Amino acid sequence: MEDAICPLDYRYGRKKMKAVFSESGRIGYQMAVEAALARAHASIGTISAADAEEIARASSLEAVKISRIKEIERETNHDLMAMVKAISEQCAGGAGRYVHLGATSNDIVDTATALQIKAAMEIILDDVDSLLRTLAALAERERDTLQIGRTHAQFAIPITFGFKIAGYIAEMLRHRERILQIMPRACAGKMAGAVGTGAALGKEFPRIQIEVMRGLGLTYEPAATQVVGRDRYTELVCLLANVATSLERYGTEVRNLQRSEIAEVSEPFDASRQVGSSTMAQKRNPISSENVTGLARVLRGFVQPTFENQVLWHERDLSNSSAERFTLPHAFVILDDMLHKMDAVFSGLEVHADRMRANIDSAKGLIMAEPVMMRLAEKGMGRQAAHEILREASMRAIAEGSDLRSALLERREVTDAMTAEELDEAMDPAGYVGRSREIVDKMVESAAEAVGRRDSG
């Protein structure tokens, strides 16, 4: 790989996903489609069962060498036809004459792509389930860990860190549902000939198409052109980009919370040997979260060409082909890599509860303005009047560098309405996290149910 250009070849991506979209993987899936086509013909009597099984035997990388396919391709300048000829050469008897019978190239290519998508989506689903388990364990562990909620990058009101993670669980559960919903639409092949009418397959064309897809575990395009409708790929890549953007959101949060002036969490770091900087020896950088952020930007870049690939001339042109050789494999390999990295980040995330509490205390009670306002409203004061009192007291505390409690105790309207003890109770951060803990419990349970259904079924 010393001459490799694409970072997926030497830096990013995992072997299992890369294998799905490797050259041998692609050809292997295409051969599986040729075998399924032969068996479908045999099922309706177009060819003999013996010929079909001989084609199926020859349609494998054990029987056909990739080097031979490439040799033929150099002569024909057609990669799919080169594979067909190579299979035919390996068929004993007269079976070779039935290879690719009634099909056009994209019957094989698009159906093989559907098999790749199916295999890739199963890997992505495994990744999502693993991340959900990790998030659920983290949310449960940090269920009661107090933290400041932030809006506009400013202190808001208290939450728990487990509650923050519960929101990520909810989001990933939605993505999981989207993945399951899209699979029948994305994993669709075709066996309908040159323009989708099935003319070359004869009167039994509908049965042949159904048998091929049944044998491969795919759905099929009911009214194809020469290709499967590219709206399917548009929906798919948009979903992959959506999941990637969620991961970027989580990574961005980790990066922000690891800032020196916040310091509430830290990515895993091997202090015994890991290097954070080539010159600043003290550095512990959130490199995985930053990596995920950058990869998400690349993945979203595949959305535009995927939309453009949807627009083909008449029953089909070739303008989509070269672009799709980049978009689909890269999108899947990158997302798989991102999911794996984000899982590792949350698996080893260091949560600094003491720093979270220190940041709460640094607010000098200002983050508790809302609960005091609500308590005054409960005492009979108008909500707007209570809001103005808290606003004035907060602005004064900020201007003077004092705490909100002191500013409130100087207000007659407040001391007439509640005792100092009641004020202290209202200003206790631990008592103002709403239903955070219940929400955590619910999302942990939902994650377990979703993942458990797949594990058991």
Q: What pLDDT does 283 receive?
A: 63
Which pLDDT score, from 0 to 100, does residue 278 have? Answer: 55
Q: What is the distance in angstroms between the CA of the first residue and the CA of the last residue of the chain?
A: 40
Residues of the chain with CATH 1.10.275.10: 13-98
pLDDT of residue 457: 58
Question: Residue 268: its pLDDT value, please?
Answer: 86
The DSSP symbol for 146 reads: E
Q: What pLDDT does residue 284 have?
A: 80
Q: Which residues is 188 bridged to in the sheet?
A: 219
Cβ atoms < 10 Å from Cβ of 59 = 27
Pairing of strands 146-151, 350-351: unpaired
Residue 433 has pLDDT above 70, yes or no: yes
Q: Write down the pLDDT at residue 272.
A: 65
Q: What is the mean pLDDT of residues 224-241?
A: 97
Residue 299 in this model has a pLDDT that exceeds 80 = yes
User: How high is the pLDDT of residue 439?
Assistant: 98
Q: Strand pairing partners for 151?
A: 154
Rounded Cα gap, residues 425 and 38, in angstroms: 77
Name the CATH superfamily, with its identifier, for domain 366-426. Fumarase/aspartase (C-terminal domain) (1.10.40.30)
Check pLDDT > 80 for residue 103. yes
Q: What is the pLDDT of residue 3?
A: 83
Residues of the chain with CATH 1.20.200.10: 105-358
Residue 348: Cβ-neighbour burial (10 angstroms; 0-12, 13-18, 19+)? middle
Question: Which CATH class, in words, describes the domain spanning 13-98?
Answer: mainly alpha
Homologous superfamily of the 105-358 domain (CATH): Fumarase/aspartase (Central domain) (1.20.200.10)
In the 8-state DSSP scheme, what is residue 366?
Answer: G
Would you give the DSSP letter of residue 279?
A: S
Convert the pLDDT of each residue in 191-219 to its tens digit.
999 999 999 999 999 999 999 999 999 99
Percent of the chain predicted with pLDDT > 70: 96
**Per-residue DSSP letters for 327-338?**
HHHHHHHHHHHH
Q: Residue 279: pLDDT band by 50, 70, 90 thresholds?
A: low
Q: What's the rounded mean pLDDT across residues 154-176?
A: 98
pLDDT digits (tens, 9 = 90+) for 353-400: 999 999 999 999 999 999 999 999 999 999 999 999 999 999 999 999
Task: Give the burial string for 207-234 (b: 16+ CB within 10 Å, else e).
Answer: ebbebbbebbebbbbeebbbbbbbebbb
pLDDT of 259 strictly over 70: yes
Q: Which of the residue ranges 253-262, 279-288, 324-333 would you say has the lowest mean pLDDT?
A: 279-288
Segments of the chain assigned to CATH 1.10.40.30: 366-426
- Tell which residue, 131, 129, 170, 139, has the closest CA to residue 351: 139
* CB 414, CB 408: distance < 8 Å: yes
d(Cα 82, Cα 99) in Å, to the nearest integer? 12
Farthest-apart Cα atoms in the chain, separation: 103
DSSP assignment string, 176-239: HHHHHHHHHHHSEE----SSSS-GGG-TTHHHHHHHHHHHHT-EE-TT-SSS--THHHHHHHHH
Euclidean distance between CA atoms 48 and 31, whole angstroms:
19
Average pLDDT on 13-22 reads 96
Select from 370, 297, 308 the least CA-distant residue to 334: 297
Distance CA 85, CA 401 (A): 83
Q: Is the pLDDT of residue 270 over 80?
A: no
Dump pLDDT digits (tens) for 139-148.
999 999 999 9
Catalytic residues: 152, 277
